[in-house]
Amino acid sequence: MNTHTRMLAKVIAIGAVGGLASWSESAASGAHRVTSEFLANSVSSGLSLLGMPSYVDGSAIYSLGYSVRVVPECNGFIGTSVALIAIALLRINMGTKLKLGITAFLLSFGLNAGRILTVLMVGTRSQRAADFVHEVAFPVFWFGLAFGLWFYWLKHEFEQDDAERESPGTFTQAVAT
Amino acid sequence: MNRNQYIVLGTLAFLGVYSGLKLVRPTESGVVDLQLAPNSVPVAEQLVGGANDPTFNRVEGGTPTQAVDLTEVAKDSQELGPLAQFSGVLTQGGLWHTVDLSQWQQVQGLARSLEFSLDSVGGIDASDAEQLVELLDRSDSLKVKQTLLVALGVLRAGNPLDLEMYLDEPATAAAAAYALGRRGLPEAEFALNERLLYADRFGRDLTNLDLGLASRGFDRFGDLLQLTRQRLAIDWTGSEVTPLELIRDPRARAALQDLVLSSEPEALRLRALRGWANTFEMARAEDRHGVDTGWVADLALSTDSSSDVRAEALDVLGRCAPEDCQRVLERSLKDGAPEEVVLQVLGKMLQLPREEASLTFLDPLLDSGTPDLRREALRLLAHTGREEAMDMLATQFETLDAEETDEVLAWLQSRAQLTAELEYLPSSNGVPDFAVTDSLAASLEASLAGGQLTEEQELAAMQALLHGPRPELALEGIEEAIAGLDFSDPLAVQRLAQITPGLGRPGEQLVMRAYSESTEFVSRLELLQMLEARSASNPEIERFFEQTVMEDLRGELLDQASAPLAFFRRGAQATNLFGSSVVNLFVRYGTEQDLELLGRLPQAFDSQAERWPAALRDSIRASLEECAVRTADLRAMEAIG
C-alpha cells in the first residue's frame, strides 16, 4: 500500500466516522446539550471579560439587543469527536496522541467560542452585519482555511513522496520520529 | 510542521467546514431571533385602545380594532370587591405592565378604556375615590400610582391638592395632568398652568401637561385654541402635539369641523382634524351614529387641499369611517390618481365592516392592477374576513404566483390567529368575523393536496382552515404536524408559539406540556404569556399556574434575575415581559414569603451583573425593584376588596 492509498484510506475512515457520528446525533442529544451549554457559558464569560452584559439561558446567550442560541449543529461536538477519533487512529505514541488530542479539543472549542462571540458582538451593533458575518464571512473563512490547509498538506505529501522516491526509507524514518 | 500536525490542522479545518456547512442552512441557523408569541402584542394593545396608535395601524398582519370593554374581563370575578376586581383586571394578561404610563399617548389609551368601562368594573365610582387616594399615597409602585391617577381622572375625583405633587415627578406627570384636567376645579387649573409655565420657561416637553389642559374638555375650547395658536406661532412646522389635537370631548366636534373647513392656516387645520378624529372616537356608538363623515372624504379628494391635508384626512377616514375610503378609492381610480395615492387609500381600508357594500370595486385592481396594487387588494381581502372577500380570494387563488401565495397564506393565518385569540377577549367589537368559505376552503385544500406548499405554508393554510367548513380535518393536520415536537428543543417551543394562537383547548394542553419539557427560562416565560389570557376561562390553567409554575418560579427566580436582559431589545413593551408574568402570578398566587423573595431579586441581580455597564444595570435593577413593589401594591389593593 503506497502513501497515497494510505492517505486516501485515512480520509475515507475519517469521513465514515463523521457519518457515523452524524447518524448517531440524536443518540447524543445529552452530550450536545452539555456541550452547547458549556459553550454558551464560556462565551458569556468572554463577553463579561470584555465588559459586555450577557445572560445565559440554557444554550441561548443574550446580550444587548441580540441573542444567539448554540444549536447542536454548531456546538462543535461532532467535529471535535471526529478530530479526536482521527488522532486516535494515527500511528504515533500515546503521549503525542494525548498532546495532539488536547490541543485539537482546545483549538476547536476556542475557535468555535470565538466565532460565536464575534457574531454576538457584531450583532449587538448591527443585526445585518452579524448575519453577514455568520452566513458569509465565517463560512468563507472556514472553507478557505480547510481547502488551504488540505491543499498545503497534499502538496507537502506529494513533495515528500517525490523525495521518498528519490531516497527510499525517508517515510519510515519520518514516522518513527 | 510534520505530517501529524498537518493531519490535525486538516482535521480541524474539516471541523470548521462541517460547522460552516451546517450553519449556512437557514432553517438550522445557530442565530435565533426570538420573537414574542404571534399576536400577543397586537391583541393586548387593543385592550387599551392601541388601535388608535398610528404605529399599531401600520403593523403588518395586525387588524386595527376598537378598544375592548374591560367590564367583560372582570365578569368572572363578581364576588370580589371593586378594588380587588380592578386589580384582577390589571393583572389579566401582560398588557398593563407593558404600557409606559409616563407618556401621554399611553395615558390617553388607558383613560379611553377606563372612561368606557371603569364604572362597570367592579362598580368603582366616585365614592371609592377616598380609597383610591389613600392607595395612591401608600403605593411605592410607579405603575400603580399612574393607574390610580388615571382612574381618579376618569371618576373626576380627588382633591387637587392631593394630586398636584405628582405633576412634579416626570413619570407621573402625564397621569396627574389628566387627573387634574378632568377634575376641572380652579385649584387644579392653577396647578396645571403653573407647571406649564415652568416647563415652558425651562424648555421641557409640554405635551404630557397639555393632556391635562385638553382633558378640561369643551368648556375650555377657546383656551385650547388660543394656546395652540401660540404654540404654532413659535414652532410652526414642528411635529410636537398641540393641545387642540388632544381634546377628546365629543361636544367639541362641530367646532373642530368648522376650524378644519375654515381659512385658518393649514397647520391649525391639520391639528383640528386630528382633534376631530379623537372626539369622534371618544363618542359612544350611539353618539357617532348619523355623524357626517362625508366632509372628511371630500377633503381627502379635494384637489384644492394640500397633500398634507389630504393625507391627514385619509388617515382620519381610515380610523373613523373606513367605509368612506371606498368612495375615495373609487373616485381616485376613476380620476386616474397616482398609484401611491391609491395604495395609501387601500392601506386605510383594513377595517371595512362586515355589512359594508360589495367589494367588487377591487376587481379592476385584482385583474389588471400593477403588482403593488394587486398585492394591496389581496391583503385587503384577506384582512377583511368577509364571505364575499373569501370567495373573491378563492377565484384568485389559482392565479397567485409563489410570492403572492406565501403572502396570502400568511395574511390568512394572521387573521385566523387574531380571530381565535379574540375569543378569549370578550367584546372585541370592531373586528369583523372571519370564516373561510367553501370555495376558499376547497382552494386551500387543493393546494395542500398538491404538495406544492412549504411546511410553513401548509401550517398557515391549516390554521386558516380551522375557520372553514371542515375544521376537524385541519385540526387533525395540525396535530399531526406537532405530534413529534420535542419541547426540550427550544426551536420546537418557538414552532409551537407559531401554532398555538388559533388552537383552542388542544393548544392550551400543548403549551402546558411544552412548559414542563422546556429547558429554557425565557421560553417558559413566553409560554406562560400565551396561557395568561386564557387562564380565566380554564380552571386547569389556574391549577397549573398555582401548583407547577409558582413552585418553579420560587425555585429558580433568583438565579434568573438577569433574565430581563433577554427582552431588552424589544423596547419598553417587552422589557417588562419578565416583570409582567412574575407580578401577575405572584399577585394572584403568592404568599408573604414570596414578597420577600421578590424583594431579594435586585440583590441577586447585582451579583449576576457586576460587570455590566452601570446605566443598563441601574435600569434593570429599577425594573426589578418596581416588580417587587408593584406586586405588594396590587396585593394591598386586592386586600381592600
Q: What is the pLDDT of residue B44?
A: 31
B284 φ/ψ sector (left φ>0, alpha ψ -120 to 50, else beta): beta
CA distance B146 to B107: 8
Query: Among A122-136, A161-175, B109-123, which is the least confidently predicted range?
Result: A161-175
**pLDDT bucket at B262, cuts 50 / 70 / 90:** confident
CB of A64 less than 8 A from some CB of B: yes
d(CA B466, CA A105): 51
Predicted pLDDT of residue B30? 29
Q: Across the interface, do B13 and A142 touch by the CB < 8 Å criterion? A: yes
Residue B144's pLDDT is: 92
Contact B15 A53 (CB under 8 A): no
- Assign B249 a pLDDT band (cuts: 50, 70, 90): confident
Distances from the Cα of B239 to the Cα of B232, B267, B271, B475, angstroms: 10, 10, 10, 49
Residue B260 to chain A, least CA–CA distance (Å): 44
Contact B12 A139 (CB under 8 A): no
Please give the average per-residue pLDDT across B115-133, as a whole number.
79
Q: How confident is the model at residue A25 (pLDDT cuts 50, 70, 90)?
A: low
Residue B198's alpha-carbon distances to B174, B182, B194, B234, in angstroms, are 15, 21, 6, 17
A102 contacts: CB under 8 Å, gap ≥ 6: none
Q: What b/e readout covers B75-86, taking b as 16+ CB neighbours within 10 angstroms? A: eebeebbbbbbb
Find residue A60's DSSP bridge partners. Answer: A57, A69
Contacts of B16 in chain A (CB under 8 A): 79, 111, 141-142, 145-146
Substitution target from B1, B2, B3 for chain A, most A beta carbons within 10 A: B3
A67/B17 touch (CB, cutoff 8 Å), yes or no: no
Gap between the Cα atoms of A169 and B6, Å rounded: 21
For residues B156-164, give the mean pLDDT.
89
Residue B403, Ramachandran bin (φ over 0: left; ψ between -120 and 50: alpha; else beta)? alpha
How far apart, in whole angstroms, are the C-alpha atoms of residue B456 and residue B478?
11
> Cβ–Cβ of B568/A65 closer than 8 Å?
yes
Judge: B8–A59 Cβ closer than 8 Å, yes or no. Answer: no
* Contact residues, chain A, for B32 at CB < 8 Å: 60, 67-69, 71
Chain A residues touching B3 at Cβ < 8 A: 156-157, 160, 174-175
Q: Does A71 sit within 8 Å of B568, measured CB to CB?
A: no
Residue B435 exposed, middle or buried by CB count within 10 Å (0-12, 13-18, 19+): middle
DSSP B264: S
Contact call for B18 and A18, based on CB within 8 A: yes
**A67 or B57, higher pLDDT:** A67
Q: Specify the 3-state DSSP secondary structure of B434.
A: coil
CA of B33, closest CA in chain A: separation in Å?
Answer: 7
Of how many residues is chain A composed? 177
Q: What is the pLDDT of residues B420-439, one digit of tens each?
A: 777 766 554 456 678 889 99
pLDDT for A24:
59
Cβ pair B364, B395 in contact under 8 A = no
What is the structure's pLDDT at A168?
A: 58
Structural contact between residues B422 and B434, judged by C-beta atoms closer than 8 angstroms: no
pLDDT at B36 over 60: no
pTM over 0.90: no
For A:23-42, CB contacts with B below 8 A are 29, 33
pLDDT for A2 beyond 70: no
Report chain B residues whose CB lies below 8 A from the CB of A57. Answer: 520-523, 560, 563, 566
What are the pLDDT digits (tens) for B364-399?
A: 888 877 888 889 889 888 888 788 889 999 999 888
Q: What cell was used for B282?
A: 371618544
Is residue B38's pLDDT more than 60?
Answer: no
Cβ contact (<8 Å) for B30 and A70? Answer: yes
The pLDDT, as a whole number, for residue B549 is 93
User: Do residues A85 and A15 lie in contact, with contact meaning Cβ atoms separated by under 8 Å?
Assistant: no
- Residue of B6, B11, B610 to mutate for A, most A C-beta atoms under 10 A: B11
Task: State pLDDT tens for residues B574-622.
Answer: 446 677 888 888 988 888 889 999 999 999 999 998 888 888 888 889 8
- Chain-chain contact of A62 with B22 (C-beta, under 8 angstroms): no
* Mean of the per-residue pLDDT values of chain B: 78
pLDDT of residue A21 exceeding 90, the answer is no
- Judged by a CB distance cut-off of 8 A, whether residue A129 touches chain B is no
Closest of B238, B236, B241, B329 to residue B278, by C-alpha:
B241
Distance CA B312, CA B300 (A): 8
Closest residue in chain A to residue B519, using alpha carbons only: A58
* Chain B neighbors of A139, CB-CB under 8 A: 20-21, 23-24
Q: Average the pLDDT over B15-38 and give the result.
A: 35
Distances (CA, A) of B96 to B87, B146, B173, B417, B574: 11, 11, 18, 22, 12
Min Cα–Cα distance to chain B from A42, Å? 15
Eight-class DSSP state of A68 = E
Residue of A nearest to B562 (CA): A55
Burial A73-109 (b: 16+ CB within 10 A, else e): bbbbbbbbbbbbbbbeebebeeeebeebbeebbebbb
The number of C-alpha atoms within 13 Å of B375 and in the hemisphere containing its C-beta is 13
Signed CA dihedral, B591, B592, B593, B597: sign only: positive
What is the pLDDT confidence band of residue B408, given thresholds at 50, 70 and 90?
Answer: very high
Closest chain B residue to A171, measured at CA: B3
Q: Which of A51, A142, A153 sits opposite B19 (nearest CB)?
A: A142
State residue A55's pLDDT score: 92
Angstrom distances, CA of residue B195 to CA of B159, B202, B538: 17, 11, 48
Contacts of A19 in chain B (CB under 8 A): none
Q: For residue B397, which amino acid is it?
A: F
φ/ψ (deg, to 5) at B566: -65, -25
Mean pLDDT of B555-560: 92
Say which DSSP state A61 is in: E
Distance (Å, rounded) from C-alpha B254 to C-alpha B130?
37
Does the pLDDT of residue B57 top 50, yes or no? no
What is the CB-side half-sphere exposure of residue B211 using CA atoms within 13 A? 25
pLDDT above 80 (res B93)? no
Whole-Å CA distances, B518 to B49, B513, B584: 34, 8, 21
C-alpha cell at B237: 412646522
| Cβ-defined contact of A107 to B12 (cutoff 8 Å) | yes
Residue B488, C-alpha cell as written in the block:
426540550
d(CA A37, CA A69): 10
Q: Which residue of A has its CA nearest to B566?
A: A62
In this complex, do B520 and A57 lie within 8 Å of one another by their Cβ atoms? yes
Q: What is the pLDDT of residue A122?
A: 92
A18 at B interface, C-beta within 8 A = yes
Which helix (H) or strand (E) element contains residue A32?
A: helix A29-49
What pLDDT score was predicted for residue B25?
31
Distance CA(B529)–CA(B36), nearest Å, equals 9
Contact B521 A174 (CB under 8 A): no
A23 to chain B, minimum CA–CA distance in Å? 14
Which helix (DSSP H) or strand (DSSP E) does residue B137 occupy?
Answer: helix B129-138
The pLDDT of B456-467, averaged and rounded, is 89
Read off the pLDDT band of A171 (50, 70, 90): very low
The DSSP letter of residue B305 is S
Of A64, A68, A100, the CB nearest to B31: A68
A108 touches chain B (CB under 8 A): yes
**Cβ–Cβ below 8 Å for A65 and B569:** yes
pLDDT band at B146 (very low <50, low <70, confident <90, very high): very high
Share of chain A above pLDDT 70, in %: 77
pLDDT at residue B475, as a whole number: 84
Whole-complex ipTM: 0.72
pLDDT of residue A28: 62
- What's the pLDDT band for B109 if we cut at 50, 70, 90? confident
* Closest C-alpha among B207, B206, B170, B209 to residue B189: B209
Q: Amino acid identity, residue B207?
A: T
Digit-coded pLDDT (tens) for A83-101:
888 888 888 888 988 998 8
Query: In a mutagenesis test of the B interface, which of A4, A10, A55, A161 is the best target, namely the one with the most B β-carbons within 10 Å?
Result: A55
In the DSSP assignment, the letter for residue B501 is B
CB contact under 8 Å between A63 and B2, yes or no, is no
Reported as type and span, the H/E element at residue B69 is none
How many angstroms separate the CA atoms of B42 and B59, rounded?
A: 8
Record: contact A73-B22, CB cut-off 8 A: yes
Q: Which residue has the higher pLDDT, A10 or B84?
A: B84
Q: Looking at residue B24, what is its pLDDT? A: 33
Tell me, what's the pLDDT at B148? 93
